[in-house]
Amino acid sequence: MTNIAIFGVTSAIAQATGRLMACDGTRFCLIGRNAEQLEIIKQDYLVRGASDVFVFPCDLASRTTHQDLVDNIMQSVGQLDIVLLAHGVLPDQAACEEDPFEMSEAFEVNALSHMSLLTVLANVMAQHTKGTLAVITSVAGVRGRKSNYVYGAAKGAVSIFLDGLRHRLSSTGVQVLDIRPGFVDTPMTADFEKGPLWASPEDIARGILKAIEKRKDVTYLPHFWWWIMMIIRHLPRFVMHKTGL
C-alpha cells in the first residue's frame, strides 16, 4: 500500500497529480479548506481506483494546528510514502506594496505555513528510510522581480528551506523535491491572458510524477523554464531594471 498525503489538494495541480496516482493500492489523505470539495475529490479518486481516501478539512494558514493535523494523519495511515505540499495563494502584488499587513499575510500562507508543516513532517519522515517530500514552489522564487517579488520571496524562502532540509535528510533516503512550475492555467491564474508558455495542470502533474520516480531534487516544469530562469537569474542588474518582468 502506498500512502499519499496531499496538502492543498483542491488546487488544480495537486488534484491532477493525485488523480494520476489514484490506482489500486494507493491510500490518500487529502487536506484542504473546503470540506465539500474534499468530498468531491475523495469520490473522484475512489471511482478512479484509489483503495482508500481520508479527508482532513482544515485551514493550513493556521500554524498552531499543524502538529495535531499530522498526528491525525499518521494515526489514520501509519506511514507516509509520498507527501505533496501544494497550498498557497497568488497575492495581489500592488496591494502588498501598499499594505505591510497584506504583504506579511501573503508570506504567512506561501512560506511560513509550508515551513511549519515541513518541520513537523520532516520529523515524521526522518524515521523512515524512504519516501518523498514534494513541495510546489515556483519559478518566481528564483529571482526577485518587480511584478511579483512578494510571492517570489515566499516561494524562494521555501526553496532555500528545502535545500537545507534535503541536506539534513540526505542520510535517510527520503527524497526532498522542489517543484518549480512556470505559468499554469488554473483558477489561480484565471485572469491572465494565456500564451504559448502556459502549461496545463495535467502536464505539470505528469512532470511531478516523473520527478518523483527519478528521485530528483529540483524540477522545473515544463523543463524549458530551467533555461528561461537561467537567463533571468544571470541578467545583469542594469539590463534587468530595463525590463518590465
Partner 1 sequence: MRRQTYKSWGNLPFGKQKVIPLLSRSDPLPTLSEGETILPYGNGRSYGDSCLNTDGALIDTRYLDHMIQFDRERGVVTCESGVFLKDLLTLLIPDGWCLPVLPGTQFVTVGGAIANDVHGKNHSQFGSFGCHVLQFELLRSDGRRLLCSPTQNEVYYHATIGGLGLTGVIVWAQIQARPISSTDLECETIKFSGVEDFFRLEEDSQNTHEYRVAWIDCLSKGTALGRGHYSRANHADGRRVSRDSLLWKKRISFPLTPPISAVNKFTLQAFNSVYFHRQRKTIRKDTLSFETFFFPLDHIRQWNRMYGPRGFYQYQCVLPMDQACTGVTTLLRMIASGGIGSFLVVLKAFGDCAAPGMLSFSRPGVTLALDIPNHGQRTLDALSRLDEIVLNANGALYPAKDARMPPDMFRASFPRLDEFIPLIDPVFSSSFWRRIQPTSQSGDER
41 binds partner 1 (CB under 8 A): yes
151 is catalytic: yes
3-state class (DSSP) for residue 45: helix
Please tell me whether residue 36 binds partner 1 under the rule CB under 8 A: yes
**Is 48 a binder of partner 1 (CB under 8 A)?**
yes
**213 near partner 1, rule: CB under 8 A:** no
Q: How far apart are CA 205 and CA 191, in angstroms?
A: 22
List the one residue from 64, 193, 236, 242 that touches partner 1 (CB under 8 A).
193
Candidates 47, 236, 239, 244; binder of partner 1 (CB under 8 A) is 47
Nearest approach, Cβ of residue 181 and partner 1 (Å) = 18
Instruction: Give burial (CB, 10 Å; 0-12/13-18/19+) of 72.
Output: middle
* Residues 50, 22 contacting (CB under 8 angstroms): yes
Q: What is the DSSP letter of 187?
A: G
Site for partner 1 in 172-191 (CB under 8 A): 187, 190-191
| Residue 188, CB-side half-sphere exposure with 13 Å CA sphere | 19
Is residue 224 at the binding interface for partner 1, with CB under 8 A as the rule? no
CB atoms within 10 A of CB 89: 15
Site for partner 1 contains 12 (CB under 8 A): yes
Rounded Cα distance, 214 and 33, in Å? 31
User: Which residue among 44, 92, 108, 203 contacts partner 1 (CB under 8 A)?
Assistant: 44
Binding site for partner 1 (CB under 8 A): 12, 34, 36-37, 40-41, 43-44, 47-48, 187, 190-194
Catalytic residues: 151
